Chains A and B, each alone.
Chain A
């Protein structure tokens, strides 16, 4: 028994010595489990998406036909309605991203640089609190605010501006998306502003630059990576969403997500849904390349 233990001990020693001599083997063993998970589960879904985009569906019985065809992509390019939907999606995503950036930069600047410590932590909690409640509930709340007889129109009429008719429209979608994704823009911008040393701003002031000049020439270039990082979130989240358009969108508010959802859940045409889902992947790929050039990945 003692010799067994000794043998086992020496085997363990040999194994650990072997591993010590070969750092690459150690790394491989350590990373094989998460690596396999990443490839098999995370990337496999993506691969399957591209593969099924090349299949088709028999129109009457709805059975999947496993023959290779580019028909789905042809439809995407040829039918103008799908182009409209794709462009609308990208347009809304861009509008939401710009809006959130315009809201987030002054807010984050105040919170990170101007506000006293206690106000600053209060603001931090205030930004995070909406994320604790259900996404659906918040969208429904907006539906009630923007409805024809909703709070917004009631207030406007009390003040004497008359009512606006923006419930169930692209405007409603833009407002709700901007609200929902705002925290994802504020947090990276906040972090970026916090990272800029105070001495830079003081040096700029010493050299005679006023507030705006300091912002434009010193602060802004330093926080661009933060804005780009936030933009990745707001842009990609809008690009893939279908719940907000369903709930607050009107006639002609369909986004790519809605068409995908309809093709999967209603028309049972999964190959076409997969083909359309490739569009945001490509758009996001281009967007990430642009964001990389702006240094977004250093600010994540």
Chain B
């Protein structure tokens, strides 16, 4: 013991040295320019031989062995999937250029950010024959098609649901009010995600019409503040803001949470474990997502990527994923396969009645300054992120 008696005398010197180095470093590192990659590359006209592997950034449940294993066997492309818990995380992963990810299953609130940042590159829909069978709304939707260029192939879509424990939550909830009104104090869970503000805005648009919210993603300052106030008042009722779907599953399994905002994936996983849960779309409606497989502009395995979108667009895999996750397939031919896997599932997952149902969901999109009504006073996504930090921390 007493190995470092000299340290005491030297520590002032050391602190001084660190300071000096900081100054040196600051002056040595001048400004350097960052280069941006352009996406002017020509579209491929055919799909070549597979490169042997495919690296994906995906939502939890989007790379299940059920359809990944047959894909690997058929194409020889080994799939490595990295699960992301939020759109922000997906964008961050794709931005770390050269990170080696080939594709990302981006939702509508991430896709435009990826396109504008040059992280993804256009794809040739001619190489995806099933694309013609997609529901018309998702063939060239504005969240993945810019100036006629298709930055990816639509995948699945669905609503964010209200998940609850049938033993503790009685009567069955029909309104989002149950996660705001304090009835289940300390046993509520919602996603740790700035886009959750839209859920509050959607609820307010129905319960407080005087605020004049028409689109939950286009909020001016006072509307955003109203939604933030609702979420701040909700915070004491929150057990935990979940960041991965598996977190929420564990909270429901252990009884720490009995009600909360969820994806159908959590519901189907919990039901498979015989947990007493149910999900519903409350009377105020729901936010939702429409996902797209997008190709990275740094993709090392583009042929495997094209083989992958073809694989997941096929009616059979569309049906498998829809039932496994509990969402709606984009391929209209998937219905008959769904019936084969699970009778009545085509109806349950709305695969046969898309048009009106499609319009009832407020799909995730990135909040920007330009409001739909021609005004420019909407709060952009960085404001949402900052408000979310204020709410949760």
Interface residues of A (CB under 8 A from B): 39, 43-44, 46-48, 50-51, 54, 59-68, 79-82, 84-85, 144, 147-150, 165, 167-168, 191, 195, 246, 249-252, 254, 258-259, 264-268, 285, 288-289, 292, 297-300
Contact = CB atoms under 8 A, between A and B. Distances in A.
19 contacts: A50-B26, A51-B29, A61-B117, A61-B118, A62-B117, A66-B32, A79-B389, A80-B390, A81-B393, A82-B389, A85-B393, A147-B255, A149-B255, A150-B254, A167-B254, A250-B239, A251-B241, A254-B393, A292-B11
Nearest to B390: A81
Given A297-B7, A297-B8, A267 B88 contact: yes
Given A47-B21, A81-B389, A259-B389, A298 B2 contact: yes
Interface in B18-36: 18, 21-22, 24-26, 29, 31-34, 36
Interface of B: 1-5, 7-8, 11, 15, 18, 21-22, 24-26, 29, 31-34, 36, 86, 88-89, 91-92, 95-96, 113, 116-118, 186, 235-236, 238-241, 243, 251, 254-256, 380-382, 385-386, 389-390, 392-393
Contacts of B7: 297, 300
A43 B113 CA distance: 36
Contact of A54 (B1, B26, B92, B393): B26
Contacts of A63: 34, 36, 117
B86 A165 contact: no
A297 B11 contact: yes
A259 B393 contact: yes
A292 B380 CA distance: 48
A61 B35 CA distance: 13
Nearest to A165: B186
Nearest to A248: B240
B31 A254 contact: no
Contact of A46 (B11, B18, B89, B385): B18
A250 B238 contact: yes
A56 B59 CA distance: 29
Given A48-B25, A251-B240, A300 B4 contact: yes
A4 B26 CA distance: 52
Contacts of A251: 235-236, 238-241, 392
Contact of A147 (B1, B24, B113, B254): B254
Contact of A61 (B86, B116, B385, B393): B116
A61 B149 CA distance: 19
Contacts of B91: 62, 268
A252 B392 contact: yes
B34 A148 contact: no
Nearest to A264: B92
A297 B9 CA distance: 10
A14 to B, nearest CB: 34
A62 to B, nearest CB: 5
A39 B25 CA distance: 12
Which 8 residue pairs are nearest across A and B when measured between Cβ atoms?
A47-B25, A251-B238, A147-B254, A268-B92, A61-B117, A148-B255, A66-B31, A59-B382
Given A252-B393, A266-B92, 7 more contacts: A48-B25, A62-B92, A168-B240, A168-B251, A285-B15, A292-B11, A298-B2
Given A250-B239, A266-B86, A51 B25 contact: yes
A64 B254 contact: no
A267 B235 contact: no
Contact of A50 (B25, B31, B235): B25
A265 B91 CA distance: 10
A63 B96 CA distance: 10
Contacts of A292: 8, 11
A64 B256 contact: no
A287 to B, nearest CB: 12
A191 B29 CA distance: 45
Contacts of A252: 235, 392-393
Contacts of B186: 165
A195 B95 CA distance: 55
A61 B34 CA distance: 12
A299 B2 contact: yes
B386 A60 contact: no
A121 B26 CA distance: 51
B322 to A, nearest CB: 28
Contacts of A191: 1
Contacts of B240: 168, 249-251
Contacts of A80: 390
A66 B34 contact: yes
B113 A60 contact: yes
A43 B21 contact: yes
Given A64-B34, A292-B11, A51 B26 contact: yes
A251 B239 CA distance: 6
B393 A168 contact: no
Contacts of B33: 66
Contact of A298 (B5, B235, B236): B5
Given A60-B113, A267-B88, A298-B5, A50 B22 contact: yes
Contacts of B34: 63-66
Contacts of B32: 66
B83 to A, nearest CB: 13
A52 B101 CA distance: 26
A254 B385 contact: no
Contacts of A289: 11
A167 B255 CA distance: 11
Given A51-B25, A300-B7, A148 B31 contact: no
Given A168-B239, A250-B240, A259-B393, A148 B92 contact: no
A144 B15 CA distance: 43
- From A63, A82, A267, name the one whose CB has the most chain B CB atoms within 10 angstroms: A267
B22 A267 contact: no
A191 B1 CA distance: 8
Contacts of A60: 113, 116-117, 380-381
Nearest to A59: B382
B11 A254 contact: no
Nearest to A163: B255
A46 B15 CA distance: 12
Nearest to A192: B1
A164 to B, nearest CB: 12
Given A60-B116, A63-B36, A66-B31, A47 B89 contact: no
